[in-house]
Amino acid sequence: AENNFSVHQLAQEMRISRTQLYLLLKKITDLTPTDFIIKVKLDYAKTLLKDPSFSISEIAYKLGYSNANYFSKQFKDFFGITPSHYRKAK
């Protein structure tokens, strides 16, 4: 997995400018490009959380977070629930 995927790289991959990317993503998803990249990572985290063989720290590091607490905070900010509560609910 690409842990440090940036807005610049996403714009290059889509062959549009960063400004065009911002306008397009904001229109389609109502997210900024940075938030869109974070949401994609966190959506993948939901999949990984269904596998109990991965600890939450392992999932955080797998997604490129160097701090599991920051991962948990972003997850809760996006989904309104902590990764551990999400895991228990599934």
- Model-level pTM greater than 0.95? no
7-14 vs 18-29: helix crossing angle, rounded to 10: 90
> What is the DSSP annotation of 7-34?
HHHHHHHHTS-HHHHHHHHHHHHSS-HH
Neighbours of 16 (CB within 10 A): 14
Tell me the per-residue pLDDT of 8-47, one tens digit each, with 9 for 90 and over: 999 999 999 999 999 999 999 999 999 999 999 999 999 9
Which residues contact residue 41 at a Cβ distance below 8 angstroms, ignoring those fewer than 6 apart?
Answer: 63, 64
Give the Cα separation of 89 and 1 in Å (integer): 26
pLDDT at 18: 94
Tell me the per-residue pLDDT of 55-72, one tens digit each, with 9 for 90 and over: 999 999 999 999 999 999
